[in-house]
Amino acid sequence: MRILKQLTRIAARRYASAMSREGGDGDLPIQTGALPWRLAGDKIEILLVTGRKSGRWTIPKGWPMSGKSLAEAAAQEAFEEAGVRGTVDPNPIGTFRHVKQLFALGDVEVDIVVHRMWVDREFDTWPELGQRKRKWFKAKDAAKRVDSSDLGAMILNAVRVARDTSAVR
């Protein structure tokens, strides 16, 4: 059992260095995520999706993509997982830790780099329709629905910053 654990760690590190833009220096692998938001009247709403396996509410996220910045990859994930397009802030608003369930490697911890995304288009059909649910939430409700307290705090902070700056259109 000990050897299996060691092999899993080695495989996870190699996988992490291959999937991370940080270059395999022993850090956790990264994924990129979008925090989709819109105005509903004078209130900010946050779009969450369910995980395919877990069914838990979270943000659209995925692995970095060759030839795309992390912000561009986050926008692509938002389209594939939630069927939305919009303007993605190239500057991340923070990171949170997530345990990814990978078939071959088991559970692997990853850091999710999060970018705000102003949604200006919502599609009736999208690549992962039927595999996930999507739903707009008031910011406070979205923060409560996600499992990660760090992501919940990030949602509330992003909304606070948007209200206090010209980020709200």
- CA dist 115 and 33 (Å) reads 6
Does the predicted model carry a pTM greater than 0.85? no
15: pLDDT confidence band, cut at 50, 70 and 90?
very low
**pLDDT tens for each residue of 22-61:** 433 347 899 999 999 999 988 999 999 999 888 899 999 9
Question: What's the burial of 141, exposed, middle or buried (CB within 10 Å: 0-12/13-18/19+)?
Answer: middle
| Residue-level pLDDT at 4 | 40
Contact of 58 with 49, CB cutoff 8 Å: yes
**pLDDT digits 0-9 by tens, 92-140:** 999 999 887 766 666 788 999 999 999 999 999 999 999 999 999 999 9
For residue 86, how many other CB atoms are within 10 A of its CB? 19
Domain at 28-164, CATH homologous superfamily: Nucleoside Triphosphate Pyrophosphohydrolase (3.90.79.10)
Every domain of the chain and the residues it spans: 28-164
As a whole number of angstroms, the longest Cα–Cα distance in the chain is 57
